[in-house]
Amino acid sequence: MTIDGKPRHVALHAPKNGHVYVLDAQTGQFLSATPFVPVNWTTGIDPKTGRPTINPEARYEKTGKPFIGLPGAGGAHSWQPQSFSPKTNLLYIPANVAGFPYFAAKDWKPSGMGFQTAIDGYATAMPADPKVQAGALAGTTGALIAWDVANRKVAWRVDQVSPWNGAFSRRRATWCSRAMPRASSSPIAPTRARSCGRSRRRAGSWPRR
């Protein structure tokens, strides 16, 4: 793949933190990290070291204030498989576009029961306000993102009504298919955001080929 005008053998990684990482596959050298979804836990990635600069507001345990983290606890991309096409040079990512509220629990101490998150669950609970609930629902979505690795940008995307949209598989070099919620899947042309019907296949799973 051509990176910064040079042919490189690279490793690609789109983890939960919302960035597409490009590394030299032979040496492990950091080449780039670019957000593929909205991100606010960091103010930027050092272009030399790959280390993030943490947003001071994200240190909610120090500020004593609530923080809505982007991406949320589910991650921008979780275990659902992504796919890369050497024909298009696009990385296809089943992305989660959702935040998560954090507020440090006062005088928290670890115990032998439950999740050890140190978060005040009462303070971060969804209020019984229909407007707030509607806003939170509208801001919790997903997308199939076709990422242009060489140019570090979105080539195209197909927005989804919810996150957690399942695996993405490249079929030969011509068509792709993704599993979606409500027990369906949809073939897509990998060079553009064009869907071509659906078949019944549950999101979060993928048949053996």
Q: Is the pLDDT of residue 197 over 80?
A: no
pLDDT for the residue numbered 140: 92
Q: Is the pLDDT of residue 166 over 70?
A: no
Sheet of strand 175-180, all strands in order from the earlier edge strand to the far edge:
168-171, 175-180, 184-189, 194-195
Between CA 203 and CA 209 the distance in angstroms is 16
- E strands of 46-89, at which residues? 52-54, 67-69, 83-85
Give residue-wise pLDDT tens across range 44-54.
Answer: 999 999 999 99
Between CA 116 and CA 207 the distance in angstroms is 35
Q: Can you give the pTM of this predicted structure?
A: 0.82
* Winning range, highest mean pLDDT, from 71-80, 174-183, 197-206: 71-80
- What is the percentage of the chain residues whose pLDDT exceeds 90? 67
115: confidence class by pLDDT, cuts 50, 70, 90: confident
Between CA 112 and CA 8 the distance in angstroms is 48
Q: Is the pLDDT of residue 201 over 60?
A: no
**Cα 59 to the center of its chain, rounded Å:** 21
